[in-house]
A = this chain, B = another copy of it.
């Protein structure tokens, strides 16, 4: 176990005392109390689930302070101070650690140092040190990864604040909002925001169904900020099988052209929306109850802490008007319409027919967007509009350009486990209006048109970047981002590949905003419930700063770039930047089997035969078992379908930081071809498991009698394995200059490709070797030609460039 903690403030003692008083942990008259009484009082505050002194003592009777003494025994002696080791022995038990399992030797200070938990230095602890020790303890992370104050919260500590007679208000402790709002009484409602769009072409502005969860305290004068998640999956999804594509097909030779970017750049058309509805009246309360629950535990955590959470599916989803456009500008407009309403700049109605207007009167107008994947993507989309009211986004595993999701360098390249998917397939998936049969029957023609438009625009035949994709490249408008921005991405995310975050980060780098980046070792997952890092606390600090104007210095406190180590469990590095243009690059040259620093001395042409597809299709392998065989240095049926080049073993640890690039001089005996490259870490090692293990099911407690999430952590596999994929990249031999221009290609003509692998932050251990696999068909991502081709590599002209962190 290691508990990294980046979101804790260290205020001075005066502020600590005033914060402790504000949450009623410390009594107002504390410094008139006898020292022994104060000590006893402070411990008694740690058991909010009981009320009688005898009950508190019964609990203290179960906690050890040393091998022979319980906390109750110690306090019975009316001590005026407590030894540091005793305090922390008790503290660890309060934090949920189990003596027998976690620190059987009762070496609390040793355990806390090892687990990276903070302690105060005073010994014995008394007077104001005691107050400081409890302040620190409340902000120390327990075994479930949450602070002690959050643990106490889940056991009723803040119930005293629920429905208090006074004016409801936010309680800030250590710069973070606390769960003083009664989640059992949350108000749930649905409204319909009127957009400026008419994507279903019915002559009416598209209404957007919007689901709101807000504290009951808003009914009593509290205005709250909003966490808004634009979620096309919110009202359900469709089965995509009917429209998915067969990928067992060869590449189509493309007709050479001289297309330039200017030829295909997207320019937004001028459009005039239909006239707006006329309000027939106004209402303060909505009249519809939502049928779906919230979907992100981080949102639920903040709902208990006074942040309303809002979900909207957007155009084409069930309950809303419109059609889907899979990342098109219409979806961006649909996304920000909700913010405009929350900010008071747009009208919403209580239902779809009566035109009774309703305001977000309970909202401060300060909005943050959250969510992962398509949800985080729409957060990027919204941020690039500069919409008023949006104060920050926390965009996780998000697409910053849809071309980087479904295409690469002139090739159709699928997200992992999504072979055959494309923008039209995803549009069907999220077009949940289809679930309402009569609604769908009426708009079937416009649905058919949408599917045809997407199919044409995405141009699966060439895989080229075109106007359709340019309209779906949010990075084109990155300079319109005026708000503080957080990106989160998994370094093992082969669904939304890390290029999406890296190229966005490259745009954000020089913008005059605060920006933060978190790179974890997960695939396409959230990171708010990992034991080893206090992500939720950091977000609390951030949202309080951005939405509640709490002066907690969050932009300084949070690291710029936080990267989880792939080789050492529970280890998070703090950096000032990632994939910076100034990072030095090491060049490797190719010989028959090696990657080496010195240029090769003699010419060498090697070949491989791309004929694995029939074998793959006949077998019972999936993409992942194929990939293991391809990487393996043992003999395999796919051995001849790739060439492997490796470095000598590293003499010391190295950290790859950013984008590796390859130069490949290649010929194929056909008039079309594709090259794939994969960087691999070779070395027998116990590596992190693919998915985080569940440490405590339901152990992350989001409030009092409220939602929970599982506590998770990446653990080392029990057995070592031989290698691990680091990154890969793909290119069409006809797109060797740009993804929009087709170059000529003759059979057996050598051409030079220069392209990037997906970016990474990778810790290569001493003794390991870095390998590069060069092959053609990527079973899990590219099209799969069923007829064989022979590729030749001119090794003299091949290069690998690796950026190593200094």
Interface residues of A (CB under 8 A from B): 48-52, 54-55, 57-58, 61-64, 67-72, 93, 98-101, 154-156, 184-185, 188, 190, 238-239, 287-291, 293, 351-354, 434-441, 620, 698, 705, 708, 719
Task: With A55-B354, A67-B441, A101-B239 given, name 10 new contacts (CB 8 A).
Answer: A49-B288, A50-B288, A52-B287, A54-B354, A55-B351, A55-B352, A61-B439, A72-B438, A93-B436, A98-B437
Q: With A51-B287, A52-B287, A352-B58 known to touch, is A440 a contact of B100 (CB < 8 Å)?
A: yes
Nearest residue in B to A440 (C-beta to C-beta)? B100
Centre residue among A48, A50, A351, A437 by max chain B CB count within 10 A? A437
Given the known inter-chain contacts A57-B353, A289-B155, please indicate yes or no for A438 contacting B63, CB distance below 8 A.
yes
| Distance in angstroms between the alpha carbons of A434 and B98 in the assembled complex | 8
Residues of B within 8 A of A50 (CB): 287-289, 351
Q: Are A436 and B354 in contact (CB under 8 A)?
A: no
B291 x A155 contact (CB < 8 A): yes
| A270 CB → nearest B CB, Å | 32
Q: Are B291 and A353 in contact (CB under 8 A)?
A: no
Q: A434-B100, A435-B98 are in contact. Are A353 and B63 (CB under 8 A)?
A: no
24 contacts between A and B (CB under 8 A): A49-B190, A50-B288, A50-B289, A54-B353, A55-B287, A55-B352, A58-B353, A61-B438, A63-B436, A63-B437, A63-B438, A64-B437, A64-B441, A71-B438, A93-B436, A98-B437, A100-B238, A100-B434, A101-B239, A154-B291, A156-B289, A184-B185, A293-B698, A620-B719
Q: Which residues on B sit within 8 Å (CB–CB) of A67? A: 441
A354 closest partner in B (C-beta)? B54
In angstroms, Cα B64 to Cα A156, docked, is 49
For residue A48, which residues in chain B have a CB less than 8 angstroms away from its CB? Answer: 289
Q: Name the residue in A71, A190, A353, A436 with the highest tally of chain B Cβ atoms < 10 Å from its Cβ.
A: A436
Q: Inside 8 A of A70's CB, which chain B residues have their CB?
A: 438, 441
- A507: shortest Cβ distance to chain B, in Å? 36
Residues of B contacting A435 in the complex (Cβ-Cβ under 8 angstroms): 98, 100
Please tell me if the beta carbons of B49 and A290 are within 8 angstroms of each other in the complex.
yes
A438 touches B101 (CB 8 A): no
Indicate if the CB atoms of B64 and A438 lie closer than 8 Å: yes
On whether A62 and B436 interact (CB within 8 A), knowing A238-B101, A287-B50, A291-B49, the answer reads yes
- Check A68–B184 contact: CB distance below 8 A: no
In the bound assembly, the distance between CA atoms of A353 and B72 in angstroms comes to: 13
Q: How far is the CA of A239 from the CA of B290 in the complex (A)?
A: 43
Asked, given contacts A238-B100, A239-B101, whether A62 binds B437 with beta carbons under 8 Å apart, the answer is yes
| B contact residues around A436 at 8 Å (CB) | 62-63, 93
Who on chain B is nearest to A287 by CB?
A: B51
- The answer to whether A437 and B705 touch across the interface, beta carbons within 8 angstroms, is no
A152 to chain B, nearest CB (A): 11
Asked whether B354 lies within 8 Å of A288 as measured between CB atoms, the reply is: no
Q: How far is the CA of A290 from the CA of B436 in the complex (A)?
A: 43
Q: Quick one: closest B residue to A61, CB to CB?
A: B438
Q: Using Cβ atoms and an 8 Å threshold, which residues of chain B touch A155?
A: 289, 291
A437 to B86, CA, bound (A): 13
A460 smallest CB distance to B (angstroms): 24
Query: How many angstroms between the C-alpha atoms of A49 and B188 in the bound complex?
Result: 11
Closest B residue to A708 by CB, please name it: B293
A55 contacts across to B, CB distance below 8 A: 287-288, 351-354
> Lowest 8 CB-CB distances: which A-B pairs, in order?
A99-B437, A62-B436, A70-B438, A64-B437, A49-B289, A54-B353, A62-B439, A64-B438
Residues of B within 8 A of A438 (CB): 61-64, 69-72
CB-based contact A52/B354 at 8 Å: yes
Contact A93 B351 (CB under 8 A): no
| Minimum CB distance partner of A52 in chain B | B287
Chain B residues near A57: list those with CB within 8 A: 353
In the bound complex, CA of A58 to CA of B288 (Å): 12
Q: What residue in chain B is nearest A50 (Cβ atoms)?
A: B288
Nearest CB of B to A521, in Å: 24
A752 shortest CB reach to chain B, Å: 44
A59 to B55, CA, bound (A): 54
B188 touching A705, Cβ below 8 Å: yes
Complex: how many Å from CA A29 to CA B184?
A: 37
Chain B positions within 8 Å of A69 at CB level: 438
Q: How far is the CA of A422 from the CA of B434 in the complex (A)?
A: 55
Assembly CA distance A436 to B100 (angstroms): 9
Q: Which of A52, A434, A438, A439 has most chain B Cβ within 10 Å?
A: A438
Which residues from B are CB-within-8-Å of A289?
48-50, 155-156
Chain B residues, Cβ within 8 Å of A238: 98, 100-101
Shortest CB distance A590–B (Å): 35
Cβ–Cβ < 8 Å partners of A437 in chain B: 62-64, 93, 98-100
Contacts of A190 in B (CB 8 A): 49
Contact partners of A49 in chain B: CB under 8 A: 190, 288-291
In the complex, what residue of chain B is closest to A96 when comparing beta carbons? B435
Partner of A351, one of B58, B68, B184, B434: B58
Instruction: Tell me which residues across on chain B come within 8 A of A719, comparing CB atoms.
Output: 620
Please give, as numbers and ranges, the residues of chain B lying within 8 Å of A93 by CB-CB distance: 436-437
* Shortest CB distance A744–B (Å): 44
Judge whether A68 and B441 touch: CB under 8 Å. yes
CA distance A796 to B99 in the complex (A): 61
Chain B nearest CB, measured from A487 CB (Å): 27
CA of A435 to CA of B95, assembled, Å: 12
Nearest opposing residue in chain B for A183, CB measure: B184
| Chain B residues with CB below 8 A from A51, complex form | 287-288
> How far does the alpha carbon of A93 sit from the alpha carbon of B437 in the complex, in Å?
8
CB closest chain-B residue, reference A290: B49
Residues of B within 8 A of A708 (CB): 293
Residues of B contacting A290 with CB < 8 Å? 49
| Bound complex: CA A617 to CA B79 (Å) | 57
A628 to chain B: closest CB distance in Å? 14
A705 (CB) vs chain B CBs: closest residue: B188
Residue in B closest to A236 when the chains form the complex, CB atoms = B98
Give every chain B residue within 8 A of A287 (Cβ-Cβ): 50-52, 55
Q: Could you tell me the distance between the alpha carbons of A50 and B353 in the complex, rounded to whole angstroms? A: 13
Docked complex Cα distance between A48 and B288 (Å): 9
Task: Quote the shortest CB–CB distance from A238 to chain B (angstroms).
Answer: 7
Alpha-carbon separation in the docked complex, A437 to B439 (Å): 63
Contact call B52/A351, Cβ cutoff below 8 A: yes
Pick the contact of A99: B64, B239, B440 (CB < 8 A): B440
Name A154's closest neighbour in chain B (CB-CB): B291
Q: A353 to chain B: which residues have CB within 8 Å?
A: 54-55, 57-58
What residues on B are CB-neighbors of A188 within 8 Å? 705
Query: A239–B100 Cα gap in the complex (Å)?
Result: 10
- Give the complex CA separation of A98 and B318 in angstroms: 12
Compute how far the CA of A185 lies from the CA of B57 in the bound complex, rounded to whole angstroms: 30
Please report the C-alpha to C-alpha distance between residue A156 and residue B574 in the assembled complex, in whole angstroms: 48
- Min Cβ gap A112→B in Å is 16
**Interchain nearest-CB distance for A128 vs B (Å):** 28
List of B residues within 8 angstroms of A72 by Cβ: 438
Q: How far is the CB of A235 from chain B (nearest CB, A)?
A: 12
Q: Measured between alpha carbons, how far is A719 from B620 in the docked complex, in Å?
A: 9
- In the bound assembly, the distance between CA atoms of A293 and B701 in angstroms comes to 11
Cα distance A293–B70 when bound, in Å?
Answer: 28
A52 contacts which chain B residues (CB < 8 A)? 287, 351, 354
